[in-house]
Amino acid sequence: MVRTVNGDWLIRGRDGRLSVYLSTDEAVLCRAESAPGGPWGPVRRVGGAQRLHGGFALARGADGYTHLAAWRPTRGEEHGLLHSTHFRPLLAPLDWLPVGHPNRQGARTGDPAVAVDEAGRAYVFVRNRGLGVHTVNQKSLGGWNAWHDLRGSKVHEHLVAVTAESGLVAVYATNPDGILRWHQEEAGARPVPGDPLRTSVEPGTLSALPTSKEHTTLYYTDPEGTLHAWRPGEDPVPLLPAAGPGPVATLRCDLDGHDCTILAQRSASGRIAFAAYPTEQESAGLWWTESGPQLPTDTRVSLTTDAEGRVVAATATPEGVLRVSRQKDEPGLALAAWQEIP
Protein backbone atom coordinates (compact mmCIF):
# COMPACT_ATOMS: atom_id res chain seq x y z
CA MET A 1 0.00 0.00 0.00
CA VAL A 2 1.44 3.38 -1.05
CA ARG A 3 1.30 5.87 1.82
CA THR A 4 1.27 9.64 2.20
CA VAL A 5 3.93 11.70 0.44
CA ASN A 6 4.48 15.31 1.56
CA GLY A 7 6.11 17.16 -1.34
CA ASP A 8 6.54 16.81 -5.10
CA TRP A 9 7.49 13.16 -5.47
CA LEU A 10 8.24 13.35 -9.22
CA ILE A 11 11.71 14.94 -9.37
CA ARG A 12 14.07 15.95 -12.17
CA GLY A 13 17.64 15.37 -11.03
CA ARG A 14 20.63 17.53 -11.90
CA ASP A 15 21.51 15.10 -14.71
CA GLY A 16 18.04 15.47 -16.31
CA ARG A 17 16.76 12.05 -15.32
CA LEU A 18 13.35 11.80 -13.71
CA SER A 19 12.90 9.99 -10.40
CA VAL A 20 9.83 9.01 -8.41
CA TYR A 21 9.63 8.38 -4.67
CA LEU A 22 6.89 6.31 -3.08
CA SER A 23 6.22 5.03 0.42
CA THR A 24 4.99 1.65 1.60
CA ASP A 25 4.08 0.62 5.15
CA GLU A 26 7.77 0.15 6.08
CA ALA A 27 9.99 1.76 3.43
CA VAL A 28 10.54 4.58 0.95
CA LEU A 29 11.07 3.35 -2.59
CA CYS A 30 12.58 5.14 -5.58
CA ARG A 31 13.15 4.46 -9.23
CA ALA A 32 14.63 6.55 -12.01
CA GLU A 33 14.98 6.81 -15.77
CA SER A 34 18.08 5.08 -17.13
CA ALA A 35 18.62 8.20 -19.29
CA PRO A 36 16.60 11.39 -19.75
CA GLY A 37 13.41 10.32 -21.51
CA GLY A 38 14.54 6.69 -21.51
CA PRO A 39 13.19 3.53 -19.90
CA TRP A 40 12.77 3.32 -16.14
CA GLY A 41 15.08 1.31 -13.96
CA PRO A 42 14.11 -1.06 -11.16
CA VAL A 43 12.56 -0.09 -7.84
CA ARG A 44 15.11 0.49 -5.07
CA ARG A 45 14.74 0.95 -1.34
CA VAL A 46 15.94 4.27 0.11
CA GLY A 47 18.43 4.14 2.95
CA GLY A 48 18.93 0.40 3.25
CA ALA A 49 16.96 -2.00 5.43
CA GLN A 50 15.85 0.55 8.06
CA ARG A 51 12.16 -0.05 8.88
CA LEU A 52 10.05 3.11 8.64
CA HIS A 53 6.62 4.31 9.61
CA GLY A 54 4.51 4.72 6.45
CA GLY A 55 4.64 8.19 4.86
CA PHE A 56 7.50 10.62 4.28
CA ALA A 57 8.44 14.09 3.02
CA LEU A 58 10.86 15.23 0.36
CA ALA A 59 12.15 18.36 -1.34
CA ARG A 60 14.56 19.11 -4.16
CA GLY A 61 17.27 21.72 -3.62
CA ALA A 62 18.52 24.22 -6.18
CA ASP A 63 21.56 21.94 -6.57
CA GLY A 64 19.31 19.13 -7.78
CA TYR A 65 19.77 17.00 -4.66
CA THR A 66 16.71 15.43 -3.04
CA HIS A 67 16.27 15.51 0.74
CA LEU A 68 13.91 13.07 2.46
CA ALA A 69 12.53 12.79 6.00
CA ALA A 70 10.55 9.98 7.58
CA TRP A 71 9.60 8.52 10.95
CA ARG A 72 10.96 5.22 12.24
CA PRO A 73 9.73 3.18 15.21
CA THR A 74 12.32 3.06 18.01
CA ARG A 75 11.02 1.28 21.10
CA GLY A 76 7.50 0.50 22.17
CA GLU A 77 5.22 3.23 20.83
CA GLU A 78 8.07 5.73 20.42
CA HIS A 79 9.37 7.08 17.10
CA GLY A 80 12.20 9.24 15.82
CA LEU A 81 12.74 11.25 12.64
CA LEU A 82 15.29 10.31 9.98
CA HIS A 83 16.90 12.17 7.07
CA SER A 84 18.48 10.99 3.84
CA THR A 85 19.95 12.72 0.77
CA HIS A 86 19.81 11.46 -2.81
CA PHE A 87 22.46 13.12 -4.99
CA ARG A 88 21.82 11.54 -8.40
CA PRO A 89 19.02 9.28 -9.66
CA LEU A 90 21.33 6.39 -10.59
CA LEU A 91 23.23 6.53 -7.30
CA ALA A 92 21.89 4.96 -4.12
CA PRO A 93 20.51 7.48 -1.61
CA LEU A 94 22.52 7.92 1.58
CA ASP A 95 21.64 5.82 4.61
CA TRP A 96 18.96 7.17 6.92
CA LEU A 97 20.43 9.19 9.80
CA PRO A 98 18.49 10.15 12.95
CA VAL A 99 17.60 13.81 13.57
CA GLY A 100 15.65 13.26 16.80
CA HIS A 101 12.15 14.08 17.99
CA PRO A 102 10.50 17.49 18.48
CA ASN A 103 9.75 16.57 22.11
CA ARG A 104 13.06 14.69 22.57
CA GLN A 105 11.19 11.38 22.69
CA GLY A 106 7.71 10.02 22.27
CA ALA A 107 5.26 8.85 19.65
CA ARG A 108 4.95 10.11 16.09
CA THR A 109 3.41 13.61 16.18
CA GLY A 110 2.51 14.31 12.54
CA ASP A 111 3.66 14.22 8.93
CA PRO A 112 7.06 15.86 8.44
CA ALA A 113 7.66 18.55 5.80
CA VAL A 114 11.01 19.45 4.21
CA ALA A 115 12.45 22.47 2.42
CA VAL A 116 16.01 23.13 1.22
CA ASP A 117 17.56 26.61 1.32
CA GLU A 118 19.83 28.17 -1.30
CA ALA A 119 22.91 26.80 0.50
CA GLY A 120 21.59 23.23 0.24
CA ARG A 121 20.67 22.93 3.93
CA ALA A 122 17.57 20.89 4.72
CA TYR A 123 14.92 22.19 7.11
CA VAL A 124 12.58 19.60 8.63
CA PHE A 125 9.28 20.75 10.11
CA VAL A 126 6.79 18.70 12.09
CA ARG A 127 3.88 19.20 14.43
CA ASN A 128 4.84 18.63 18.07
CA ARG A 129 3.05 16.95 20.95
CA GLY A 130 1.52 20.26 22.07
CA LEU A 131 0.05 20.82 18.57
CA GLY A 132 2.51 23.56 17.69
CA VAL A 133 5.34 23.32 15.14
CA HIS A 134 9.02 22.43 15.67
CA THR A 135 11.87 22.63 13.19
CA VAL A 136 15.42 21.32 12.90
CA ASN A 137 17.93 22.24 10.19
CA GLN A 138 21.31 21.20 8.87
CA LYS A 139 24.45 23.15 9.75
CA SER A 140 26.56 24.63 6.97
CA LEU A 141 29.52 22.35 7.73
CA GLY A 142 27.61 19.18 8.54
CA GLY A 143 25.46 17.93 11.37
CA TRP A 144 22.24 19.40 12.67
CA ASN A 145 21.29 22.32 14.88
CA ALA A 146 19.07 21.80 17.91
CA TRP A 147 15.32 21.53 17.54
CA HIS A 148 13.53 24.88 17.75
CA ASP A 149 9.93 25.53 18.81
CA LEU A 150 8.12 27.79 16.33
CA ARG A 151 5.02 27.67 18.56
CA GLY A 152 1.49 27.78 17.14
CA SER A 153 -1.61 26.12 18.59
CA LYS A 154 -4.13 23.46 17.60
CA VAL A 155 -2.13 22.80 14.42
CA HIS A 156 -3.45 20.11 12.11
CA GLU A 157 -1.11 17.30 11.07
CA HIS A 158 -0.35 18.24 7.46
CA LEU A 159 2.31 20.96 6.99
CA VAL A 160 3.65 22.41 3.74
CA ALA A 161 7.25 23.66 3.48
CA VAL A 162 8.53 25.65 0.50
CA THR A 163 11.65 27.46 -0.67
CA ALA A 164 10.97 30.83 -2.30
CA GLU A 165 12.83 32.04 -5.38
CA SER A 166 14.92 34.10 -2.94
CA GLY A 167 16.20 30.86 -1.40
CA LEU A 168 14.42 31.59 1.89
CA VAL A 169 12.38 28.86 3.54
CA ALA A 170 8.78 29.05 4.77
CA VAL A 171 6.29 26.62 6.27
CA TYR A 172 2.49 26.73 6.34
CA ALA A 173 0.00 24.99 8.62
CA THR A 174 -3.72 25.06 9.32
CA ASN A 175 -5.67 25.20 12.54
CA PRO A 176 -9.35 25.82 13.35
CA ASP A 177 -8.88 29.58 12.81
CA GLY A 178 -7.25 29.40 9.37
CA ILE A 179 -3.70 29.32 8.00
CA LEU A 180 -0.48 29.89 9.95
CA ARG A 181 2.90 30.61 8.42
CA TRP A 182 6.52 31.00 9.45
CA HIS A 183 9.22 32.38 7.13
CA GLN A 184 12.90 33.25 7.08
CA GLU A 185 13.78 36.94 6.93
CA GLU A 186 17.38 36.23 5.93
CA ALA A 187 19.43 33.22 4.83
CA GLY A 188 20.25 30.80 7.63
CA ALA A 189 17.91 32.50 10.11
CA ARG A 190 15.23 30.74 12.11
CA PRO A 191 11.76 31.11 10.57
CA VAL A 192 9.59 33.67 12.32
CA PRO A 193 5.79 33.90 12.38
CA GLY A 194 4.01 35.94 9.74
CA ASP A 195 0.49 37.30 9.84
CA PRO A 196 -2.00 34.41 9.83
CA LEU A 197 -4.94 34.21 7.44
CA ARG A 198 -8.29 33.86 9.13
CA THR A 199 -10.30 31.71 6.78
CA SER A 200 -12.22 28.46 6.57
CA VAL A 201 -9.91 25.78 5.25
CA GLU A 202 -10.24 22.03 4.83
CA PRO A 203 -7.29 20.37 6.63
CA GLY A 204 -4.90 18.46 4.40
CA THR A 205 -5.48 20.59 1.28
CA LEU A 206 -2.48 22.96 1.35
CA SER A 207 0.08 23.18 -1.44
CA ALA A 208 2.57 25.98 -2.16
CA LEU A 209 4.36 27.21 -5.27
CA PRO A 210 6.95 30.00 -5.74
CA THR A 211 5.33 32.20 -8.39
CA SER A 212 7.67 35.23 -8.57
CA LYS A 213 10.72 36.71 -6.88
CA GLU A 214 8.41 38.38 -4.40
CA HIS A 215 5.70 35.82 -3.82
CA THR A 216 4.83 32.25 -3.01
CA THR A 217 1.24 31.30 -3.80
CA LEU A 218 -0.55 28.98 -1.38
CA TYR A 219 -3.47 26.87 -2.60
CA TYR A 220 -6.15 25.51 -0.29
CA THR A 221 -9.72 24.21 -0.41
CA ASP A 222 -12.46 25.52 1.86
CA PRO A 223 -15.02 23.20 3.53
CA GLU A 224 -17.52 23.96 0.74
CA GLY A 225 -15.08 22.58 -1.85
CA THR A 226 -13.83 25.80 -3.49
CA LEU A 227 -10.13 26.00 -4.35
CA HIS A 228 -8.43 29.28 -3.38
CA ALA A 229 -5.09 30.95 -4.12
CA TRP A 230 -3.46 33.19 -1.50
CA ARG A 231 -0.31 35.29 -1.41
CA PRO A 232 0.57 36.76 1.99
CA GLY A 233 -0.27 40.46 2.10
CA GLU A 234 -3.17 40.01 -0.31
CA ASP A 235 -6.71 38.66 -0.07
CA PRO A 236 -7.32 35.02 -1.03
CA VAL A 237 -8.83 34.51 -4.48
CA PRO A 238 -11.46 31.80 -5.12
CA LEU A 239 -10.51 29.93 -8.28
CA LEU A 240 -12.96 27.13 -9.06
CA PRO A 241 -14.45 24.06 -7.39
CA ALA A 242 -11.74 21.60 -6.42
CA ALA A 243 -11.67 18.59 -8.74
CA GLY A 244 -11.36 16.21 -5.80
CA PRO A 245 -10.10 15.87 -2.23
CA GLY A 246 -6.63 16.65 -0.92
CA PRO A 247 -4.02 19.14 -2.16
CA VAL A 248 -3.53 20.08 -5.79
CA ALA A 249 -0.23 19.31 -7.50
CA THR A 250 1.37 22.50 -8.82
CA LEU A 251 3.93 23.46 -11.45
CA ARG A 252 5.18 26.76 -12.85
CA CYS A 253 6.47 26.47 -16.41
CA ASP A 254 6.60 28.02 -19.87
CA LEU A 255 3.61 27.32 -22.13
CA ASP A 256 3.86 28.78 -25.63
CA GLY A 257 6.18 31.50 -24.37
CA HIS A 258 3.99 32.44 -21.41
CA ASP A 259 4.74 32.04 -17.69
CA CYS A 260 1.95 29.70 -16.57
CA THR A 261 0.87 27.79 -13.49
CA ILE A 262 -0.50 24.27 -13.88
CA LEU A 263 -2.69 22.54 -11.30
CA ALA A 264 -3.55 18.83 -11.26
CA GLN A 265 -5.77 16.73 -9.02
CA ARG A 266 -7.56 13.39 -9.08
CA SER A 267 -11.18 14.26 -9.87
CA ALA A 268 -14.38 12.80 -8.47
CA SER A 269 -14.65 10.73 -11.67
CA GLY A 270 -11.28 9.08 -10.92
CA ARG A 271 -9.45 10.73 -13.82
CA ILE A 272 -6.71 13.35 -13.46
CA ALA A 273 -7.94 16.91 -13.97
CA PHE A 274 -5.64 19.69 -15.18
CA ALA A 275 -6.03 23.47 -15.17
CA ALA A 276 -3.64 26.19 -16.32
CA TYR A 277 -3.55 29.97 -16.15
CA PRO A 278 -1.03 32.84 -16.43
CA THR A 279 1.02 32.86 -13.23
CA GLU A 280 -0.39 35.18 -10.55
CA GLN A 281 -3.20 36.25 -12.91
CA GLU A 282 -6.07 34.37 -11.29
CA SER A 283 -8.54 36.85 -12.80
CA ALA A 284 -7.84 35.31 -16.22
CA GLY A 285 -9.94 32.31 -15.17
CA LEU A 286 -9.28 28.60 -15.35
CA TRP A 287 -11.16 25.34 -15.76
CA TRP A 288 -10.53 21.63 -15.34
CA THR A 289 -9.81 19.28 -18.24
CA GLU A 290 -9.70 15.57 -17.43
CA SER A 291 -7.13 13.13 -18.80
CA GLY A 292 -6.26 9.44 -18.67
CA PRO A 293 -7.99 6.40 -17.19
CA GLN A 294 -10.11 6.20 -14.07
CA LEU A 295 -7.85 5.61 -11.08
CA PRO A 296 -8.52 4.33 -7.55
CA THR A 297 -9.26 6.58 -4.59
CA ASP A 298 -6.08 7.91 -2.90
CA THR A 299 -4.16 7.91 -6.19
CA ARG A 300 -1.37 10.53 -6.03
CA VAL A 301 -0.38 12.93 -8.83
CA SER A 302 2.80 14.99 -9.24
CA LEU A 303 4.14 17.37 -11.89
CA THR A 304 7.54 18.46 -13.16
CA THR A 305 9.32 19.36 -16.39
CA ASP A 306 11.80 17.05 -18.09
CA ALA A 307 15.25 17.76 -19.52
CA GLU A 308 13.64 19.19 -22.69
CA GLY A 309 11.29 21.48 -20.77
CA ARG A 310 8.18 19.38 -21.41
CA VAL A 311 5.52 19.05 -18.74
CA VAL A 312 5.49 15.57 -17.21
CA ALA A 313 2.70 14.22 -15.01
CA ALA A 314 2.88 11.03 -12.94
CA THR A 315 0.29 9.12 -10.94
CA ALA A 316 0.77 6.39 -8.36
CA THR A 317 -2.11 4.24 -7.15
CA PRO A 318 -2.32 2.92 -3.58
CA GLU A 319 -1.02 -0.41 -4.93
CA GLY A 320 2.04 1.33 -6.39
CA VAL A 321 1.10 1.28 -10.09
CA LEU A 322 3.01 4.13 -11.76
CA ARG A 323 1.79 5.95 -14.89
CA VAL A 324 3.49 8.81 -16.72
CA SER A 325 2.32 11.26 -19.40
CA ARG A 326 4.42 13.87 -21.24
CA GLN A 327 3.48 17.04 -23.03
CA LYS A 328 3.10 16.69 -26.79
CA ASP A 329 5.08 18.79 -29.24
CA GLU A 330 2.13 21.03 -30.06
CA PRO A 331 0.65 24.26 -28.68
CA GLY A 332 -0.98 24.36 -25.26
CA LEU A 333 -1.00 21.78 -22.53
CA ALA A 334 -1.61 18.71 -24.69
CA LEU A 335 -0.51 15.50 -22.98
CA ALA A 336 0.31 12.22 -24.70
CA ALA A 337 -1.40 8.98 -23.72
CA TRP A 338 -0.60 7.78 -20.23
CA GLN A 339 1.98 5.01 -20.10
CA GLU A 340 2.06 2.44 -17.31
CA ILE A 341 5.64 1.91 -16.13
CA PRO A 342 6.23 -1.84 -15.66
Tens of pLDDT, residue by residue over 138-187, are: 998 889 999 999 999 999 999 999 999 999 999 999 999 999 999 999 99
**pLDDT at residue 1 tops 70:** no
Q: Is the pLDDT of residue 309 over 70?
A: yes
pLDDT of residue 89: 85
Q: Which domain holds residue 312?
A: 253-342
Average pLDDT for 232-250:
97
What is the rounded CA–CA span in Å between residue 237 and residue 283? 9
pLDDT at 122 over 90: yes
Is residue 116 in some structural domain? Answer: no
What burial class does residue 67 get, using C-beta atoms within 10 Å of its C-beta: 0-12 exposed, 13-18 middle, 19+ buried? buried
- Closest to 53 in 3D by CA, of 19, 4, 121, 103: 4
Structural domain contains residue 43 = no
With residue 100 as reference, give the H or E element that holds it: strand 97-100
For residue 229, pLDDT beyond 90? yes
Provide, rounded to the nearest whole percent, the portion of the chain with pLDDT above 70: 99
Q: Does residue 190 lie in a domain region?
A: no
**Mean predicted confidence (pLDDT) in 204-229:** 97
> 211 or 48: whose pLDDT is higher?
211
Report the C-alpha gap between 141 and 113 in whole angstroms: 22
Nearest residue to 28 (alpha-carbon basis) of 294, 316, 292, 259: 316
What pLDDT is stored for residue 2 in this prediction? Answer: 65
Closest CA to 226 of 235, 239, 217: 239
How many domains would you assign to the chain?
A: 1
Residue 99 lies in a domain: no
Question: Is 329 part of any domain?
Answer: yes
Domain presence at residue 261: yes
- The string of DSSP codes covering 183-251 is E-SSTTPPPEE---EE----TT--EEEE-SSS-EEEEEE-TTSEEEEE-TTS--EEEEE-SSSSPPEEE
| pLDDT score recorded for residue 54 | 86
- Amino acid at position 320, single letter: G
Is 27 a domain residue?
Answer: no
Express the helix, strand and coil content of the chain in percent, nearest 5 each: 0, 45, 55
Domain membership flag for residue 95: no
Q: Under 8 Å CB-to-CB from 102, ≥6 apart: which residues?
A: 109, 126, 127, 128, 129, 134, 136, 147, 149
CA distances from 83 to 71, 99, 144, 150, 223 (A): 9, 7, 11, 20, 34
Please state the rounded mean pLDDT for residues 329-337: 92
Residue 126 has pLDDT above 70, yes or no: yes
Cα torsion angle, 253, 215, 159, 162, sign:
positive
Start-to-end CA span in the chain (Å): 17
Give the residue-averaged pLDDT of 247-267.
Answer: 97
Question: Sorting pLDDT into bands at 50, 70 and 90, what band is 246?
Answer: very high
Average the pLDDT over 258-269 and give the result.
Answer: 97
Mean pLDDT score of the chain: 96
Query: Is pLDDT of 3 > 80?
Result: no
- Averaged pLDDT, 7-14: 94
pLDDT band at 267 (very low <50, low <70, confident <90, very high): very high
